[in-house]
Structure 1
Amino acid sequence: MIDRRFIGVVSEPRRIDVEKGQLKFFAKATGETNPIYFDEDAARRAGHPALPAPLTFMFCLASAAPAKRGDVFADMGVDEGRILHGEQSFTHHAAIYAGDVITLVTETKDIYSKKGGALDFIVQDTTATNQDGRLCAEMRFIAVVRNEQPA
């Protein structure tokens, strides 16, 4: 079982640059076809100052800048091979663009078990704020940990 003392732990702020090459790669990998995600002129014609990040790109940012405090693998000691992606959701407040510097902060909101302890659930909320201090997005991620059951 995951130690519930991690509930309420807030990570250190992590800064990450949003690079246009990453945005183009993510858009292509997710099957995006809208030219605003690939062509800077098309993005400007659509009213964007630069290439916008696809709506779920925040997950990549969080993965590329893992927390040291409250990290599921390092801090909580969970074996990566036992993790399942349970759920994720996003609330968007402002667009994220190529060239932005995003600061991420993650808080562990809950840890609970199901199926008699066979599964642990870790609920974490991450905020993304741009270089101007504007809240761009919030992400909730729920990791499911498969626990070894005695034989």
Structure 2
Amino acid sequence: MFDTRYIGTELKPFCVQVERGRLRAFAIATGQDDLVYSDETAARAAGHPSLPIPPTFLFCLEMEAPNPMEVYERLGIEYARVLHGEQHFTYHRLAFAGDTLRFKPRIVDLYEKREGALGFLVWETRVKRSDGAPVADLRTVMVVRNPTLGGLR
């Protein structure tokens, strides 16, 4: 199903500026009741320079790549056959509203299970602040259903 020569391939890096309004909307949408994530005054009172980015918000920002479908297009994957498998975050430091973050993704593994009925695409993204300080490492695992094998439709 996969061409394993793509393992190690870097995808196009990109930058995203973190907006306060989006952080507030995310806090509301996810039911965050800690005001440090939605109220600038509360964030500053807690010792932060601005609103901190909630832990899973980096995944939302990663989807703001110029071409969020790049990895699927490069591998020839029909997106309708993709399922979210896993998401992991390793945090190095907080990031805040107003920061510009640089995302640098790369494909780290491609493998199959169930005799090729399921393919697994793994990529990791290093996130750094504009000054080069590491913020987090993201790891994404997507499952690709092969419609010709294993009766998965």
Place the TM-score, normalised by the shorter chain, in its bin. Answer: over 0.9
Structure 2 distance, partners of 1:89, 1:66, is: 22
CA shift, 1:50, in A, is 0.4
* Per-residue deviation, residues 37-89 of structure 1 (Å, max 9, x unmatched): 11000000001000011001110111111568x93222112111111000011
Structure 1 distance, partners of 2:77, 2:31, is: 32
Query: Given the two structures, how large is their TM-score scaled by the length of structure 1?
Result: 0.93
Q: Say if 1:130 and 1:136, in contact at 8 Å, map to a contact too.
A: yes
Structure 2 distance, partners of 1:148, 1:43, is: 49
Q: Structure 1 residues 66, 108: CA separation in 2 closer, same or farther (over 3 Å shift)?
A: farther
Gaps of 5+ in 2: none
CA shift, 1:96, in A, is 1.2
| Residue number in structure 2 paired with 1:7 | 7
Q: Say if 2:11 and 2:71, in contact at 8 Å, map to a contact too.
A: no
| Residue number in structure 2 paired with 1:126 | 125
**Superposition map of 1:3-42 within 5 A:** 3-42=3-42
CA shift, 1:30, in A, is 1.5
Structure 2 distance, partners of 1:20, 1:35, is: 13
**Aligned-residue identity in percent:** 44
**Superposition map of 1:102-117 within 5 A:** 102-117=101-116
Q: Say if 2:43 and 2:51, in contact at 8 Å, map to a contact too.
A: yes
CA-based RMSD of the aligned residues comes to 1.6
Structure 1 distance, partners of 2:33, 2:105, is: 31
**Superposition map of 1:75-94 within 5 A:** 75-94=74-93
Q: Secondary structure at the match of 2:77?
A: coil
Query: Given the two structures, how large is their TM-score scaled by the length of structure 2?
Result: 0.92
Count of paired positions = 150
Q: Secondary structure at the match of 1:75?
A: helix
Gaps of 5+ in 1: none
| Residue number in structure 2 paired with 1:61 | 61
Structure 2 distance, partners of 1:100, 1:74, is: 30
Q: Say if 2:116 and 2:146, in contact at 8 Å, map to a contact too.
A: yes
* Per-residue deviation, residues 75-125 of structure 1 (Å, max 9, x unmatched): 112111111000011011111111010000011110000011010001111
| Residue number in structure 2 paired with 1:43 | 43
Q: Secondary structure at the match of 2:93?
A: coil
Structure 1 distance, partners of 2:4, 2:89, is: 25
Tell me the amino acid that sits aligned with residue 11 of structure 1: L
Structure 2 distance, partners of 1:80, 1:21, is: 30
